[in-house]
A and B are shown apart, each in its own frame.
Chain A
Amino acid sequence: MPRDNSREVIEAHKESVGQTLLRVSRSVLGYYGRGVSPSGNVGTLVFLNEDPAPLYGKEFGLFFSQRYECLQNSAGDQLWEINVRGYVYKVCQRRDREWCEVLSYHFHPELQVRFPHLHLKNGEPLVTNAHLPTGRVSIESVVDSLILDFGIKSDRDPK
């Protein structure tokens, strides 16, 4: 019988996301999970305190929320792996002491609009009202973009 590595996989995912977000923010990340067994247990990761969480440099902020589940691989080793079921990653900019949304990546198939998409908040109404399809976007790539394109600097960034 394959070893049950479900708890380790869940802990590793939480830690991996936490380490990723540390590259751009010191805000505390929280985890909320329901149920005991890994199968059917959907976990939620979200910043605990600030909304949005300020990023290094204070000009930009990030609302981050991700729901994921731990599933057993149906082929071969049957070990457990993470499946991200949805996310909201919203980038805001500080303007006149207010947080203004710049863009947000959404994936919420359990709610309306079932495909992963991007919202842009600057531009023509045709664009700012659109749900621009993206394919699933990882928080790792969003963080990479924040560092590359938004100038977020961190002394923790190993790259």
Chain B
Amino acid sequence: MASTAKSIPNIVHEMSTEEFAALFDRTAQSRLGMSGTEFVEKWKSGYFEPDPDGIPGVMEVAFLMLSL
């Protein structure tokens, strides 16, 4: 998708690494009842296999994990 450049007031809050990590952790907690660190460990171990997309909340957290 192409975006054209033009001058527009900024209405988006730029997050620090710490802020994003905290958001990731909050999302993992609220969705799955686990910390972000625990989620990453479980993801890497294959805990959510064979169909993580079929488990409520997992893909929202996994998607944010990609940006860590």
Inter-chain CA distance A28–B56, complex, in Å, is: 24
Question: Residues of A contacting B20 with CB < 8 Å?
Answer: 30, 32, 44
Q: A12-B6, A22-B11, A31-B13 are contacts. A67–B60 as well, Cβ < 8 Å?
A: no
In the bound complex, what is the Cα–Cα distance between A30 and B21 (angstroms)? 13
Partner of B8, one of A5, A12, A30, A86: A12
Within 8 A of B (CB), among A13-28: 13-19, 22, 28
In A64-110, the 8 Å CB interface with B consists of: 65, 67, 81-84, 86, 88, 90, 101, 106, 108, 110
The total of chain B residues at the interface (CB under 8 A) is 34
Min Cβ gap B12→A in Å is: 5
Contacts of B27 in A (CB 8 A): 51
- Do A30 and B5 touch (CB < 8 A)? no
Bound complex: CA A82 to CA B1 (Å): 6
Q: Which residues of B contact A88 (CB under 8 A)?
A: 59-60, 63
Chain A residue, CB-CB nearest to B14: A31
**Judging by beta carbons under 8 Å apart, are B3 and A30 in contact?**
no
User: In the complex, what's the smallest C-beta–C-beta distance from B20 to chain A, in angstroms?
Assistant: 4
Is the CB of A46 closer than 8 A to any CB of chain B? yes
Cβ of A45 under 8 Å from chain B? yes
Choice from B3, B5, B13 contacting A48 with Cβ under 8 Å: B13
Q: Which of A18, A28, A81, A111 contacts B2 (CB 8 A)?
A: A81
Given the contacts A81-B2, A111-B62, A30 and B53 also touching, CB distance less than 8 Å:
no
> In the assembly, what is the distance between CA of A106 and CA of B62, in Å?
12
Q: Does A113 contact B (CB under 8 A)?
A: yes
B10 contact set on A, CB distance < 8 A: 11, 14-15
Q: For the complex, give the distance between the alpha carbons of A138 and B3 in Å.
A: 13
Partner of B26, one of A13, A45, A51, A81: A51
| Chain A 111-124 per-residue mask, 1 if CB under 8 angstroms from chain B, else 0 | 11100000100000
Tell whether A63 pairs with B13 under 8 Å between CB atoms, given A82-B1, A84-B1: no
Could you write out 11 A-B pairs with CB less than 8 Å apart? A14-B12, A28-B13, A30-B15, A31-B14, A32-B20, A44-B64, A65-B60, A67-B67, A82-B3, A111-B53, A111-B63
